Structure formats: C-alpha cells, structure tokens
Amino acid sequence: MAEIWQGFLKAIELIVSLDPEVMEIAGRSLRISVTSCLLASFICIPLGSLIHFHNFRGKRAVINIIQTFFSLPTVCVGLFVFVLFSRAGPLGGLGIMFTPTAMVIGQMILITPILLGLTISALSGVSKEIVDTAISLGASSFQTTVAVLREARYAVLAAVTMGFGRAIAEVGCAIMVGGNIRGFTRVITTAISLETSKGELELSIALGIILLFLALIVNVALNRL
Amino acid sequence: MSLIEVVGLNHRYGERKVLENINLNINKGEAFCLIGSTGAGKTTLLRLIDLLETPASGDIYFDGLCIPKSGRQRLEIRRRMAFVLQKPQVFNLSVYDNVASGLRWRREKKDRIDKKVNEILEMVGLEDYRNRNARTLSGGEAQRVALARAMVIEPEILLLDEPTANLDPGSTAKIEQLVSYISEQGNTTIIMATHDMPQGQHLANRIGVLLDGKIVQTGDVEQVFRSPQDEEVANFVGMENIIEGVVTANNEGMVTLDIGGGAIQAVSDFPVGERVYVCVRPEDITLALSRTQSSARNSFYGKITQVVSFGPLTRVEMDCGFRLVSLVTKVSVEELSLQKRKEVYASFKATGVHLIKRRAK
C-alpha cells in the first residue's frame, strides 16, 4: 500500500518538476498513439461506412471476423509486424524496424478492428427512418453517409476513444517492434515494464498514473468535440 | 396536366404483394389524399413516388418524364420533392440545422439559407426554438420541424404520410392549418396518406381509396364520400348504414326498394329486380319525436338502442325493423331528450340514398 502511495507522490513530483526523461517518454507515447489512432480513424470511419451502407455477400461474415479481431493479442500484432519489417522480411528493405514508425503501424493494425467494428455498430444504431429522411430531403449517397455519421457522432467518437485507449495502453507490440530504445522508442508502457523488472516500483507506478492522466486529457479533449 | 402519373405499378416485399396494378394521375397543384386502412400500402406508394424504393414493375412519370430505375437522374428528380414521414423524424441537431439540411445538400448560398430558414421557422411558429436541439422537442413540435424542413426547399410535390397520426389534437390542428395554407398557395402539389376520414375530407381536393394494395376508387371528395362504388369503400368512408335491398319499382328515376321490413325510396336508375346495397350517411338522417310533414321521402319509426356522444356530435343507434345509425348534434339530443328505449321517427331524403349494385357471390 505504501508503495502505491509513494508512487503517487513520485508521480506528482515527476509531473510538477517536469522531469525531462518522463516528459520525453510521455510525449512519445502520446505522439505515437495519437498518430496511429488518427490514421486508423481516417481509414476505418469511411471503410466502416462503406461496409454498413452496402449489401454484399458475406457481409455478416466480414463483420463477425472484424469483431473476432477485437481480441487480437498485442504480441501477435507485434510478431506480424516483426516478421514483415525485420531485415529478412518482405518489407525489411524499408529499414523501419525498431522505429516509432513501426510502432505506429503495429498500433494501427491493433486498433483497426475495434474502430471498424464500432463504427459499423454506431451507424447501425441510426434508425432507417433517419436515413430515409436524409435521402428524401435530397441528400446524395455521400451526403447521406455524412449525415448518418453526424447522427452517430457520439458513438463514433466512443469508437475512436476506445481505439486510442487500446493504442496507448498496449505494451506487447511496442516492445517487440519498437525495442524500448531509450530516447528513441521508449514509451510509458515499455518503460513501466522495464522499471518494474529492475525493481523500480515507485517509478513504474508514477508512469502508470501519468499514462492515465494523459488518457484523461485526451478523453476530455475528444468529448469537447 | 398530370404532374405524377403512375402506370401499372406493382410492388412486393418478399412473397407479399403490397401494391397491385396501381394506375393514378395526380394533377399539378392539387391536394390528393390517399385514404386506406393501416397496411393497405399507402406508405409504400408514397415511398415509390418519392423514389426511396424502385417498383417491382410498372412506371412512374414525373412531369411527363419516365423515371429511370437507377442512376443520377433519380437524385435530381427526388430533389424536386419532399417527404414528411409518419413518425416525426428529426436529426440530432439544432432546429435551425434541421431545417437548413435540404438547402445545404442542394448547395444553396449561406445568406439565402439563413433568410429562408428564418422565414419558415416564423411561419411554423418555432422561431424561438431555432438553437434548441430538435431531439428535445415534443412530437408535435418535431413534426412542425419536419414539415418546415420539407417546405423550405419549396418542393413541387410535398408527400405527407399520416403527418398527424401520432399527435395530440392541438398539434394536429396546427399541422392541418399549415398543410391547408401550403395547398392554398397553389405552388405545391400535395400527396397525403391518411386513415383519418375527416382530415382527408377537409384537406383534399381529390381522394384515392387504397384497399389491400389496390386503388379501388378515385374521385373528388364529395363523390367518394357520398357515392362509394362498392361495399368495401362504403364501409371505409364511414357509410354506417348499409342495408341489403331489392329494387321493386322504378318510376322515372325514383326507385322503391324492399329492404325486408320496410320500403325505401331513392333516386336511381337501377332496373326492377336489381339486388343492391342501400347506403345512407348517418349525418343525413334527422330524428323527430312525431311523424312530421317534411320533404324527406323516407321516414321510419323505431326505438333507440344506443346513444354515444363524442365531441359535438352524438351517434344514435336505433332499431326500425332494421338497424339505423344517425349522427345528431348535442343540441338535438337535449331538445328531443334522446335516450335508450325512446321512440323516434328517423327521416332521410331520397336523394340522400346511395345505391351500390350487389355482386353475385
């Protein structure tokens, strides 16, 4: 119990003193997760709308598969990205292994199913009558899609928040494809993992609290939209 | 000239036939009312006209142009119409943004949108609500938003699907007022579905009766309500007195009918021996306590079996050897002190009787 309390005090101390290393790690965590979340949103919201508004064979199956991938283990994504970008891998020539770019790609893969699946279910929550109302008022199919997305905006925003949450909180992929390189790919979660194994529990707890604090700021900002 | 012409239209949902061989002309500027019971296919017909669905077979012509089954042209045609759904539907946006939607989708200029939206909000009496989220409005207010949102695009055709079905009487009156105002302006053709007879009677120039997916009768209001063409329509338009009879004499257009327990005189040219339904609208029957000298050719003595008052009118049911229903004013009920078991004389004119030929079963 004392350790948690100590950790809490340490967190406050680190935040208030703007400890340069902690700030750098936190900043990188935020940058990587926000980037992956934004990029994934740009892909998934339009793609989810496309799937929702079109009827095709196997649509149900596609949605089932997307939902299954909600449970994708982070280490599996890490493994996949590792195989893809390691020196000997098919995309090894790009030389992005153990860089923040690889981490962004990993996180994007990780949260894409969540963003896609939740976007589709957000759109399904909009009644057929609202869709008909938009069409009958002269909206083109693109305008109708935008109108329905706007109707479902809170649920879509919840999907984005969820995706961001999973991205900033994951450690498996970040450590496998980032490598936890100090000053380059070390993020809060990988730092916690390292500090805990070193026995630096206070620092770990402090970093955990800082991560939650970051999530709080992002959530407040998103809910302002 | 017909603005909408529906030719040989059929539609089905899966195995179920919803509309069968619909042929319909709707003239520019008129208020056309589709009446029919729930599930008769009114909504489907409106949806097909608004191009929300494509018919299984048959064609719809808009202003002389055959509407294609797919393609960009459908959007252009749809943009000349507006549709107000039965259940008030509003977007989760401010009242202003709701009403502006259609104009924005048509890429109108911002200041023009502003001017038109404010004008229309004033007209429907919602100018104080412009910044309120439309989802927080009552059903009646939401339906006024929906109507304003449709009107603001100045559609050539305004489609209304039972616009007052879920509203209280006050809101209904407001919506009816707006619809009749639009209708009087004459720029907009109105096609309205309703199962509310008085509403149809009050708002429409012409009526189409849709029963079980088929248009069974079209005509002006008076014609449909006074002279339904078969028993089904008669039942539907509130012709409460439908009595089976046979023509026993025809004297230069004045026929005598045997209804088994009495004789009724009517104006008709049916030949002797014709089996008919004798229809009399309940509001055409007057009641008196004694056999009075009046111009009414038909007068029957009977005993009241039921008196039910609703609103300003009272429905009096009596047994005259056959069942007869009359609608009388509250004043008459009080003056004649009408009540159960009271003996009265019911009279109606020969011209107030409508005859329908009975089909051989």
State whether residue A151 sits within 8 Å of chain B by CB: yes
Instruction: Give chain A's domains with CATH numbers.
Output: 2-224 (1.10.3720.10)
The strand pair at B31-35 and B81-84 is best described as unpaired
Q: What is the DSSP letter of A5?
A: H
Task: Pick B52's closest partner by Cβ from A130, A136, A143.
Answer: A136
The per-residue pLDDT string of chain B (361 residues; one tens digit each, 9 = 90 and over) reads 789 999 999 999 988 999 999 999 999 999 999 998 888 899 999 999 999 999 999 999 999 999 998 888 999 999 999 999 999 999 999 999 999 999 999 999 999 999 999 999 999 999 999 999 999 999 999 999 999 999 999 999 999 999 998 888 889 999 999 999 999 988 899 999 998 888 888 899 999 999 999 999 999 988 888 888 888 888 888 888 999 999 998 888 899 999 887 889 999 889 998 999 999 999 899 998 888 767 788 989 999 999 998 888 899 999 988 899 999 998 888 888 888 889 999 999 998 899 998 876 5
pLDDT beyond 90 at A40: yes
**Contact in structure between A29 and A187 (CB atoms under 8 Å):** yes
Considering only CA atoms, which of B78, B13, B18, B7 is closest in space to residue B45? B18
Residues of chain B with Cβ-Cβ distance to A139 below 8 Å are 101, 105
Q: Which residues of A touch B77 (CB under 8 A)?
A: none
Q: What is the pLDDT of residues A113-149, one digit of tens each?
A: 999 999 999 999 999 999 999 999 999 999 999 999 9
Give how far A148 is from chain B: nearest CA, Å: 9
B159-196 tens-digit pLDDT: 999 999 888 888 999 999 999 999 998 889 999 999 88
Identity of the amino acid at B109: K
Query: B153 at the A interface (CB within 8 A)?
Result: yes
Q: Do B82 and A151 touch (CB under 8 A)?
A: no
* Interface check A147 vs B, CB under 8 A: yes
Cα B17 → chain centroid? 23
Question: What's the confidence (pLDDT) of residue A199?
Answer: 87
Q: What is the mean pLDDT of chain B?
A: 91
ipTM: 0.84
Return the residue of B nearest to A132 by Cα. B52
Residue with the bigger pLDDT between A1 and A133: it is: A133
pLDDT at A192 over 80: yes
* B74 in contact with A, Cβ within 8 Å: no
pLDDT number for residue B361? 59
Assess A198–B contact: CB distance below 8 Å, yes or no: no
DSSP-derived secondary structure for B131-186 = TSBGGGS-HHHHHHHHHHHHHTT--SEEEEESTTTTS-HHHHHHHHHHHHHHHHH-
Count the neighbouring beta carbons within 10 Å of the beta carbon of residue B130.
Answer: 16
